[in-house]
Each structure stands twice: as C-alpha cells, then as structure tokens.
Amino acid sequence: GLSSGRLAVLSGPSHAEEVGRGMPTSVVTASASVDTARTVQEAFFSPNFRVYTSDDVVGVELGGALKNVIAIAVGICDGLELGDNAKGALIARGLAEITRLGVAMGARPETFAGLSGAGDLITTCISRHSRNRYVGEQVGRGRSLEEVLDEMVMVAEGVRTAEAARKLALRYGVEMPITEKVHQVLFEGYDPRRALEDLMLRQPKPEVWGWA
C-alpha cells in the first residue's frame, strides 16, 4: 500500500457545479509530506482554483466530513422556518463541536477556522447545491428520511456520517449535542422541532470553556 507521505486529501468549499463553470474556488490539500502537498497544490492550482497546503490530515478530513451533519441540522431549521438567527447559531456551535472532536483526535484547532472547516461548513449550510441541507429541510417539513433518500439521485453523505460521528463522540468522550440531535431525528424517529427546542434548553454555560 501507499505510505502516508504519498497520500494527500483535498477539501474545502468546492461545489462541483461552480468549479465546473470556472467560478473562483479555494481549497486546501493536506498530507503528512510537505512535498506531496506541494505537488498536489501545483497540479490543481489555476487562476480560478486556489490551493493552500496543510500537514493536518486528520483536521482537514474531519472538517470535510462532519460539516455535512451540521448542514442537515441547518436544513431542518430551514424546513421548520425558524429563521436566520437559529441557522447562524447552529453553524457557529456546530463548528465548535467539530473542533472539539478534532482536537480530541489529534487535529489542530486552527485547521477548523480554515477552508476545510468554517469555509466548507458555511458553504454547505447555505448553498442551494447542498444535498445534505436539502435532506434536513425535507425532514424538517415532515417527510421521512427514507422517502427523501429514495427520490435523490446523488448521495447525501451526512446521513451516514451522523452515525459515524456519534460513535466517535462517544469513543473520545466529546460532547456533540447538535450531532446527537441529528442522529435522533434521522434514526430514532425524534421530532425535529423538539430536537431544536432541546438544544435551546440545554444548561447555560460559557461560550468558550475556561472563561468563568
């Protein structure tokens, strides 16, 4: 098999519909090898496709995967017509729980403020191209997950990622309340509106731990 130094991941806000039309896009490539990351950077770099490099493979991979779960939560919020304030909170607090898990798994927190974290998360949560946001919106409107998935041509990765993320949160002892509620709604028949009400009624706490 390939050594980790020969592998690279490419992630960031890069909907294919826009990349294919030559619209400005920026992403990050991560590899354990600086040379490999630079090789990928040079291969993909163009006037319309800017590529940054990173050595935080775990952080870049997690950001690209977990943002889909938060996008489902934002879609549920859309389906329930709960407004932009609620969506902003879900995005911000979603990024916080993604970062918590990432740090527990050895990633650097600053990676999640970058393109594969906040950049991809925001884009996926607000884009009309987002399949994961669409799934959440339809579930929020009262449709069953099975019905929504059956009609879709493409895959909404966040559905299965919600299961994997929940297992990782339990394994690493990380609190991920939004991910937990998405899992309950998708797989346990939990009422979407009640799930968001539960999040609002959680124990009050500092926004950032360590500040009293």
Which tens digit of pLDDT belongs to each residue from 90-102? 999 999 999 999 9
Q: Pairing state of beta strands 25-30 and 9-11?
A: antiparallel
Q: According to the CATH classification, is domain 57-200 in 1.10.1040.10? A: yes
Q: Where in the chain is the domain with CATH 1.10.1040.10?
A: 57-200
Q: Kindly list the catalytic residues.
A: 67
Phi then psi dihedrals of residue 80, to 5 deg: -85, -5
Residue 1 has pLDDT above 80, yes or no: no
Residue 126 has pLDDT above 50, yes or no: yes
pTM: 0.94
Q: What is the mean pLDDT of residues 26-52?
A: 98
